[in-house]
Homo-oligomer: A and B are copies of this chain.
């Protein structure tokens, strides 16, 4: 038997789970206060839904579930077997695809617009050697059925509030529109059918810089005129919304301006929201606005999202506007674990030591104390001092020995 968890998955210790639960509850409360409703969907999805979902590179990272019983026997008898023959389900790689299916399935029982929370686990067969998790938590809010930019405004304000409540104080919201990107590509002279390939290359800008993008565009054999026009545009590091406005449809610019103005009116400048013409976001299903949060001291984005007006249409016969924002929970958890700050507003946790002959009375005493404390009973160990060190490390706040006069002693830290 193997004692370690599978590569890319983690066992969480009690101390870690207390922090994870605190963070999740704080985020959930912020979302609920803002009028969003929580739903849950299954972790397993039909293989067909996953395969046809426009998930971009994530489609190569799906954990697939083997067929069972006679269904499997029939496949194993075939002369030539492919991966798809063997599987009928898979683990979801994000929460947006299941949400789209959910909305299509439950539409008649839901409000329009539907303001929805999902906080749950997703799975990707990432390379664990690069330190990537294969099982991780996402915290998403989405608004379905609202084509107005007010949906974006509320997602941004609500996400910003949640981040502040969990201790992420300094951050910038970056915003762009996939259609602005498409207009820029067109303006530079790239062929329209290359938009997705172009986006994938341009998305690497943060890692490989503009020169790297230039090299990859050349390698992909795009016309040199288009490439130089594109590189020229983005070599201006202070490329403004006014400059971009000259080369793209003005509605998109007005949308972004409305979002930024409204968010600014509410945030009182407590966080900046800026136009970021080089923002791409990886998912294939985004159709309009895209945004992410960059926080001080974090490498890469700690939240991201965008509008995906065509995804629900894959399940229904009509398109439904939709937009979502997802907090990268695991990254934030990692940083806050390092900070090691106490969890606010929790009952203190104490150990109550007893001798066997006092057990019933100690149980009664514990039950009394539980109105004010979390109380864990322990048989009094021979070496109490050594044991006290262990419980302090294990995040107990204090202890009491049943029958001794001096009551509860809280550790000084």
List the interface of chain A (C-beta within 8 A of B). Answer: 1-6, 9-14, 17-18, 20-21, 32-46, 48-49, 52, 63-66, 68, 72, 76, 81, 83, 86-87, 89, 91, 101-102, 104-106, 109-111, 113, 115-116, 121, 123, 125, 134-135, 146, 148, 150, 153-154, 157, 262, 265-266, 314-316, 347, 349, 351-352, 359-360, 363-364, 366-367, 370, 373-379, 390-391, 394
Contacts and interface: CB of A to CB of B under 8 A. Distances in A.
B68 A125 contact: yes
25 contacts: A2-B49, A3-B104, A3-B315, A4-B105, A5-B102, A6-B42, A6-B89, A9-B44, A11-B102, A13-B106, A13-B110, A17-B39, A18-B37, A32-B347, A34-B376, A35-B351, A36-B376, A42-B135, A44-B63, A65-B91, A66-B83, A68-B125, A150-B379, A262-B363, A265-B360
Given A39-B14, A87-B66, A3 B101 contact: yes
Interface-central residue, A20, A35, A46, A364, by most chain B CB under 10 Å: A35
Contact of A2 (B34, B65, B101, B135): B101
B111 A394 contact: yes
Nearest 4 pairs of A and B residues by beta carbon: A35-B376, A14-B37, A9-B42, A3-B105
Given A14-B38, A102-B11, A374-B35, A157 B1 contact: no
B266 A364 contact: yes
A6 B46 contact: yes
Contacts of A379: 146, 148, 150
Contacts of A266: 360, 363-364, 367
B11 A106 contact: yes
Nearest to A361: B265
A274 to B, nearest CB: 20
A123 B91 CA distance: 12
B391 A41 contact: no
A376 B337 CA distance: 32
A6 B87 CA distance: 13
A101 B66 CA distance: 24
Nearest to A99: B11
Contacts of A113: 378
B72 A83 contact: yes
A22 B301 CA distance: 32
A366 B150 CA distance: 14
A90 to B, nearest CB: 9
A16 to B, nearest CB: 9
B66 A35 contact: no
A44 B11 CA distance: 11
A259 to B, nearest CB: 12
A285 to B, nearest CB: 13
Contacts of A115: 376
Contacts of A374: 32-35
